[in-house]
Amino acid sequence: MNLHIITTGGTIDKIYFDAKSDYQVGEPVIGELLDSMGAQFPYTVESAMRKDSLELTDEDRALIRESAERCAEQQVLITHGTDGMVQTGKALKGIEGKTIVLTGALQPAAFKGSDAIFNIGCALGALQAASPGVYISMNGQLFEIDNVHKNLEKNRFETIDGKD
Amino acid sequence: MNLHIITTGGTIDKIYFDAKSDYQVGEPVIGELLDSMGAQFPYTVESAMRKDSLELTDEDRALIRESAERCAEQQVLITHGTDGMVQTGKALKGIEGKTIVLTGALQPAAFKGSDAIFNIGCALGALQAASPGVYISMNGQLFEIDNVHKNLEKNRFETIDGKD
Amino acid sequence: MNLHIITTGGTIDKIYFDAKSDYQVGEPVIGELLDSMGAQFPYTVESAMRKDSLELTDEDRALIRESAERCAEQQVLITHGTDGMVQTGKALKGIEGKTIVLTGALQPAAFKGSDAIFNIGCALGALQAASPGVYISMNGQLFEIDNVHKNLEKNRFETIDGKD
Amino acid sequence: MNLHIITTGGTIDKIYFDAKSDYQVGEPVIGELLDSMGAQFPYTVESAMRKDSLELTDEDRALIRESAERCAEQQVLITHGTDGMVQTGKALKGIEGKTIVLTGALQPAAFKGSDAIFNIGCALGALQAASPGVYISMNGQLFEIDNVHKNLEKNRFETIDGKD
């Protein structure tokens, strides 16, 4: 696999800054996580921005799309906040010959029991097997970008048509 | 996805028994891990045996194959010790119409920093995207069963032909 | 030991609320932590408030003092935010016959690698051995309330006179 | 506090060696744990042996006693297997002017949810407040060496006379 990773912020990268008594997007965790899991494939990481996904603008999404189009790799992993993930995914449709998977976490990677490493793992498995296109990997499920939404009440991702 | 899970033992399920001052294969962890990660798809779990993979016999592998053939589901996840994983994978070749992914862990799921949940995530992503066949998911990589071996010296899985 | 625990909020109890995309003081963690560590001694828990310690008022500190004075137990553990911990400790001086230890955490208990459980452990050891008085237990050290301050730059507690 | 630490092995230091498919006493964890918790006081660490406490001999206990007597520090922390902890503690009685606390863990420090860091914290709090003598710190309680035993059935430490 030849993988390009684009980080955009979101809960997955949130850490606690005791000095600020606050909780903010920090350094991207993805590189460290992959190393700790013994990942051996080559990959490049690009930090596009460090924002909560609800704060992403159309310019931000255009920037993410450009990064995905421009990179040499055929597989693109995007770590992203969960609230705006579907919207960004839709802005990535139609890029020829690339398999793009967006993922993130409901609990920051810094937390005990975080879903970050599980969701990243699922995204990697999909990236190596799926046909070109745009997908979301959350709560252990792989979704095509046209058939997924975040169920805010239940705090999870689901298909729109109800079929798993 | 319609998933059938077969657990066989291995490091992934090892826990510490203080009363025995020893470390043995315990209850399968997979169900609890999937629930904690918010997995919503239906799945069935079958505990075939609780062995170190080096102790698996041909009868054990035949039992695992039978379970994979017999189950109604098209996707089969097998948690397994890492030492004998390739051997069991080879014994599963030729089952029509099923996508079978074997995974496990180098560090028990009970350990801080375990690769268990990452490898399981990767396996799930592959199960939802890959064509029917037999695969191994370890250290973030998806391997076809005919092109993988465990590099004992470096304690990781690699392709035989050197191509990722 | 007969222990009374008063929780006041602070970083130790902060959790992530994905629905609010924010990080706030949640339910006190102390009871659950003690149970998970196999603590067998009897104790009572009282949640006085759920505030960042910089937001505590003189009325809040008077309330905490009253709870410490009023309780039947001789040992009192107070979980508290770290910024205002010394100030609250000073407001507890002069309560006859009670050993009072304030502790907290720089990283929420929910975080991997949090100092919460370590600081609580240290506070409990001190509570069972120290003479009546008011103390702070942070970064593995036991401080008398008249000789401690939080070094904001280095994010740790130290004696004022430089003697450990 | 001036602290000398003697490590002897035990569950607290057990790690999993995937290459050996086995679980053995590894490098002492105490130094790394204290650093991660921000401990600032000076301390020295001495690894006396790396054994399961049931395998300790009278010679081993004599060696531990000699180390405790010989060191310059007045506070001595001993990390030890839980099964033989009381026996070793008794062999340390009568050393003038020293506060000695033995601790360990029921779950290795490498495990999620391990009691290691909690027990070490409790021991440190006791070391800084208790009168000279020999103590055990386990499951959040501080025990005098003449009034403690390990309840094997319930897998915890208790006083002999039933008084907490």
ipTM score: 0.94
**A164 occurs within a structural domain:** no
**D163 occurs within a structural domain:** no
B140 and A115 in contact by Cβ < 8 A? no
**Could you report the per-residue pLDDT of B106-127, keeping only the tens digit for each?**
999 988 889 999 999 999 999 9
**D38 occurs within a structural domain:** yes
CATH number, position C148:
3.40.50.1170
pLDDT at C24: 82
Alpha helices (H) in A10-163, listed in sequence order: 30-36, 58-70, 85-90, 116-127
Residue A76 pLDDT more than 70?
A: yes
**Contacts of range C43-47, beta carbons closer than 8 Å, 24 or more positions apart:** C43/C2, C43/C3, C43/C4, C43/C5, C43/C73, C44/C3, C44/C4, C44/C5, C44/C71, C44/C73, C45/C5, C45/C6, C45/C7, C46/C4, C46/C5, C46/C6, C46/C7, C46/C71, C47/C7
**Could you report the per-residue pLDDT of D2-16, keeping only the tens digit for each?**
899 999 999 999 887
Residue B97 pLDDT more than 90?
A: yes
pLDDT at D97: 95
Kindly identify which residue of chain A lies nearest to residue C155, measuring between CA atoms. A19
Model confidence at B18, pLDDT cuts 50, 70, 90, reads: low
Model confidence at A90, pLDDT cuts 50, 70, 90, reads: very high
Length of chain A: 164
C18 vs A11, A16, A18: nearest CB: A11
Q: C131 lies in which domain range?
A: 3-158
Model confidence at D21, pLDDT cuts 50, 70, 90, reads: low
pLDDT at D33: 92
**A21 occurs within a structural domain:** yes
The residue behind tokens 């409790």 is: D122
Domain total of chain B: 1
> Which residue positions in chain C have pLDDT lower than 70?
18-21, 164
**C164 occurs within a structural domain:** no
B137 and A125 in contact by Cβ < 8 A? yes
**Contact between residue D123 and residue D103 where contact means Cβ atoms under 8 Å apart:** yes
Residue D23 pLDDT more than 80?
A: no
**A111 occurs within a structural domain:** yes
**B164 occurs within a structural domain:** no
Task: Give contacts of B73 with chain A, Cβ < 8 Å.
Answer: none
The residue behind tokens 């992914």 is: B101
pLDDT at C18: 64
Chain A nearest-CA distance from C110, in A, is: 6
Cβ neighbours around C72 below 10 Å, total:
7
Neighbours of chain C (3+ CB pairs under 8 A): A, D
Q: What is the dihedral of CA B126, B127, B132, B135, to 10 degrees?
A: 60
The residue behind tokens 């459980």 is: C117
Mean pLDDT of chain A: 93
Kindly identify which residue of chain B lies nearest to residue A34, measuring between CA atoms. B140
**B30 occurs within a structural domain:** yes
